[in-house]
Amino acid sequence: MVEDEARARAVEQPLGTLRSRPTLRRLLSGVWAHRPQLVHLALFVVAYVLASGFAQLLAIIPGTGISIWPASGLFLATLVLVARQSWPWWVLGGLVAELLGNAFWFRNPLPVAVLLYVGNALEASVGAWLVDRTCKRPIRLETLKEVLALVALGAGVAPVVSATVGSATLAGFGIQSFATAWPLWWIGDATGVLIVAPLGLVAFQNWRGKVQLSPARWVEAGILGVLLLGAAALSLSGHYLPFAYIIMPPLLWAAMRFELRGVVVVLALLALITVAFSLFGVSPLASDPEAQKQKQVMLQLFLAISAFSALTVAALSRQHQQALLTLRERERSLRDLVETLPAYIWCTTPAGEPIYFSQQFRDFVGFNVGDKDIEGASRLSAVLNAIIHPDDVVTVHALFAQSLATGRPFALKHRQRRFDGQYRWVETRAAAMRKGDEAIVQWSGVCLDIDDQVQAEEALRRASHRLARATQAASLAEFSATIAHEVNQPLAAIVAHSHACQRWLSVEPPNIERAKVTAERISRDANSAAEVVNRVRAIFRQAPHPRSLEDVNRIILEVCRLMADEIAAKGTRIDTKLEANLPLVVLDRVQVQQVFVNLIRNGIEAMDAVVDRPRTLDIRSCRDGLAAVRVEVVDTGDGIQDAERAFEPFFTTKQHGMGMGLAICRSIVEAHGGRMWMANGATRGAIVTLTVPAVASEPCGHDGESFPADGRPH
Amino acid sequence: MSGHAPPIVAVVDDDPRILESLEELLESAGYEVRIHSSGASFLARDISKIDCLITDVGMPAMDGFELLARVKQLRPELPVFLISGRRDLLQDRQARGGDTEFFFKPFDGAALLSALGNALKRRLADGQQ
């Protein structure tokens, strides 16, 4: 049968196109192509004959005909399962079976038997066609739609055909009246469809599938079976028919827990029990003859309603299970998505307590959420302290707290500790998940490892910085060569002239005329040299920067941040000890920044050769008296031999230095009304100290205060 | 070469102030001076009477080294002094040696005169041999 179906599917398409121009020849060749295997057809015939015999067994009330007709269910299920093109074969097989059954049991005249079969075949064809049209193949009775289609169309509508044809035949041949035969016929066929069609469908669909039940389920199935048998014995043996409905709980139990398979097994059992009790005469069916007819209808209704209820519940249960499975599957694929994304994912409660780390995040940090819990401390602090770089942890804490308070998204680049202790740059972003437009239910965050990019950017920045410095140095060299030449020319002339002048005056007699001319030229060339110097100064004289009220500490921190790369590259550490609430100073921000850049660079370079101790540069700031701010830059180098000469122009201890740095620094500090000097430390290193007068007597306010360029506070 | 006639020194420099001052210096030392503002104008004249050449290195068009090369073809024995403000241009030449002498601006007048005197004396001695 399965092979038939496959074959049917394979040729369905060409047949579909043929159908639009049907000719008898093509129709017949299509039917021939879809002939079923003989074995299957034979099995069908045997099952049909046996089903007829089973019906005959139950038909023990004289003059009422068949009470349950299982062959209708068998026929319908078969036609639903096989390809439509092969239906003629099965209809033919059904005819053979019907006639055999008639010969064995019913012994109706041949025309009657054939007419009855026409009704049965029409019933099965109409039912299968309707079910087929309503539901998509394969029909597994797993959805409510399929069950309702089978019940309403297969068991409700189709038997109308069979009942009408059959009753008319019986009436025509004078065997039974139409009105008496019709209801019993209809209910008998409907019950047959309701009980046997699902059994057939399940049996064929699971022909090769193995039933996998856990031991607990087997026990459950056993208990259910015992209960069912007990309930069936009670209900069918009693004389009070409504009692039969105690079969319902075990039936529904089977439907809920074992779904369609459970239902078909139970229904089959129920039908067999009914037969058994009917045969032994203890069934309600076998009571006094007057009530027998009515009770037969009741029994049929009972079986039909049981089957209908159980099938519906089974389909609902199946649908529910399917939905659960789908949901679980979707959840699993969502989790897989989260776990396989090349990012670290985490969630926190609305209050910020971490509740979930993705597997990749756990692998990165080396622990799971909750592993760092400390009695009395918040989990968030514990986690942040464990994974965020000490220099970043305050910022991360503050920004996340701000996000938690305002509900605004969080975004920050920071360093994060990997399980092996290495800090890597990551970009963290988090956003609040809200229930509708209302309260936050969760914070979801993602961390991306951007260390490689950051390193590359840093390398690029360092390279461009080096390039800029090299370019600067080169252009400075070029420029100084030009200046030197411009100054040298008149100087050379002056020197030569003065020597000539000397000679004119020292000959005997002195050549005063020539000496005078020469002296005039000397003063002319000297002026031209001075002019060169003036021009150079004019080039270097820049427009004065506006001065503003500034917090010296802030400038120091800014410079440290600007130079962070340079400092780190040299393996140096900078410790700042800045006195809070220093008075503000009116200063040229750019120039003073330049001073600090110079002092830090000098300090770092002074420690280049230091290997036996940490290279630490201390920057301290404090009040100096009432109205001045003092800054000290202290290195751990070898100190300086001639501290005062360090400020002379062109004094340098460096191989490639100009020797202008400290001189320029001092001139800037003095331009601000301050002083600058240098001394050696008590044990080692040099201390550069500068003081600048403060104008504002009140201390600078909180961080972030700003002033306009004219220096007046708001 | 007559003993009475003063030696003739030619000076080539593109800066008139240098030309003027060297002319003054050399004349004060009793030389006869010919000044030229470029190598081309020097070579255009008759250079057979010249006893010594002082030339700047950094000049537009023909620089001091090129002039030196040309002069050495015409008068290999002529003493030549190179003067320049840029040490870096002369240093590698100096390293290669040779009889050419170098002076850096601003040069010492006395040193230049004494070097010039020595060169002329040496030349005179060579001429007499």
**CATH fit for domain A455-540, picks 1.10.1750, 1.10.30, 3.40.50, 1.10.287:** 1.10.287
State the pLDDT at residue B35: 93
Residue B40's alpha-carbon distances to A29, A272, B44, B61, in angstroms, are 114, 134, 6, 9
State the pLDDT at residue A634: 92
State the pLDDT at residue A328: 94
The answer, yes or no, to whether residue A546 has pLDDT greater than 90, is no
pLDDT in tens, A646-683: 776 666 666 555 556 777 888 888 888 899 898 888 88
Which residues of chain B make contact with A491, given a CB cutoff of 8 A?
Answer: 105-106
Q: Which positions ≥6 away from A88 have C-beta within 8 Å?
A: A31
Mean pLDDT value across residues A309-332: 89
Between A472 and A250, the higher pLDDT residue: A250
State the pLDDT at residue A702: 41
Between chains, do B105 and A490 touch, taking CB under 8 Å as contact?
A: no
| φ, ψ of residue A188 in degrees (nearest 5) | -60, -45
CA atoms within 13 A on the CB side of A228: 25
Q: Using pLDDT thresholds of 50, 70 and 90, give the confidence band for residue A710.
A: very low
Comparing CB atoms, the residue among A489, A503, A518 nearest residue B18 is A489
Whole-number Å distance between alpha carbons of A88 and A34: 10
Q: What's the gap in Å between the CA of B80 and the closest CA on chain A?
A: 18
Which residues of chain A make contact with B29, given a CB cutoff of 8 A?
Answer: 503
The answer, yes or no, to whether residue B50 has pLDDT greater than 60, is yes
Mean pLDDT value across residues A536-555: 78
The answer, yes or no, to whether residue A522 has pLDDT greater than 80, is yes
pLDDT in tens, A447-468: 999 999 988 888 888 887 777 7
State the pLDDT at residue A531: 83
A594 by Cβ neighbours in 10 Å (0-12 / 13-18 / 19+) ranks as middle
pLDDT in tens, A178-189: 888 888 888 889
In CATH, what is the architecture of A1-209?
A: Orthogonal Bundle (1.10)
User: Which of A1-15, A54-68, A584-598 shows the lowest mean pLDDT across its residues?
Assistant: A1-15
Q: What's the gap in Å between the CA of A480 and the closest CA on chain B?
A: 11
pLDDT in tens, A216-262: 888 988 888 888 888 777 766 655 455 667 778 888 888 888 878 88
Comparing CB atoms, the residue among B15, B22, B25 nearest residue A489 is B15
State the pLDDT at residue A714: 35
Q: What percent of chain A is modeled with pLDDT above 90?
A: 27
Using the 8-state DSSP alphabet, how is residue A636 labeled?
A: -
Compute the Cα dihedral for A145, A146, A147, A150 and give only its sign.
positive
Whole-number Å distance between alpha carbons of A162 and A124: 9
* Residue corresponding to tokens 């301290």: A620
| Domain at A344-444: CATH code | 3.30.450.20
Decide if A35 contacts A7 (C-beta within 8 A). no
Complex-level ipTM: 0.87
Asked if A521 is an interface residue toward chain B (Cβ–Cβ < 8 A), one would say yes
In CATH, what is the architecture of A548-693?
A: 2-Layer Sandwich (3.30)
State the pLDDT at residue A449: 92
Between chains, do A489 and B28 touch, taking CB under 8 Å as contact?
A: no
Q: Indicate the pTM of the whole model.
A: 0.50
Between chains, do A493 and B107 touch, taking CB under 8 Å as contact?
A: no
Q: Which of A539, A541, A543 is nearest to A483 (CA)?
A: A539
Domains detected in chain B = 8-128 (3.40.50.2300)
The answer, yes or no, to whether residue A701 has pLDDT greater than 50, is no
Q: What's the gap in Å between the CA of A486 and the closest CA on chain B?
A: 9
Q: What's the gap in Å between the CA of A542 and the closest CA on chain B?
A: 29
Chain B, 77 to 96: residues with Cβ < 8 Å from chain A are 83, 85-86
Asked if B108 is an interface residue toward chain A (Cβ–Cβ < 8 A), one would say yes
Whole-number Å distance between alpha carbons of A568 and A599: 16
Between chains, do B109 and A499 touch, taking CB under 8 Å as contact?
A: yes
Between chains, do B28 and A525 touch, taking CB under 8 Å as contact?
A: no
Between chains, do B24 and A485 touch, taking CB under 8 Å as contact?
A: no
Q: What percent of chain A is modeled with pLDDT above 70?
A: 84
pLDDT in tens, A258-305: 878 888 888 888 877 776 666 665 444 445 555 666 666 777 777 788
State the pLDDT at residue A694: 87
- CA-nearest residue to A491 within chain B is B106
CA atoms within 13 A on the CB side of A555: 24
The answer, yes or no, to whether residue B1 has pLDDT greater than 50, is no
Q: Give the number of other Cβ atoms within 10 Å of residue B117's Cβ.
A: 14
Quickly list H helices, A246-354: 248-280, 289-340
Instruction: State chain A's mean pLDDT as an integer.
Output: 82
Whole-number Å distance between alpha carbons of A434 and A415: 29
Whole-number Å distance between alpha carbons of A572 and A71: 96
Which residues of chain B make contact with A488, given a CB cutoff of 8 A?
Answer: 85, 105-106
Structural domain boundaries of chain A?
1-209, 211-330, 344-444, 455-540, 548-693
Q: Using pLDDT thresholds of 50, 70 and 90, give the confidence band for residue A170.
A: confident
Between chains, do B109 and A521 touch, taking CB under 8 Å as contact?
A: no
Asked if B25 is an interface residue toward chain A (Cβ–Cβ < 8 A), one would say yes
- CA-nearest residue to A510 within chain B is B28
One fold for A1-209 and A548-693: no
Instruction: State chain B's mean pLDDT as an integer.
Output: 84
Asked if B115 is an interface residue toward chain A (Cβ–Cβ < 8 A), one would say no
The answer, yes or no, to whether residue B113 has pLDDT greater than 80, is yes
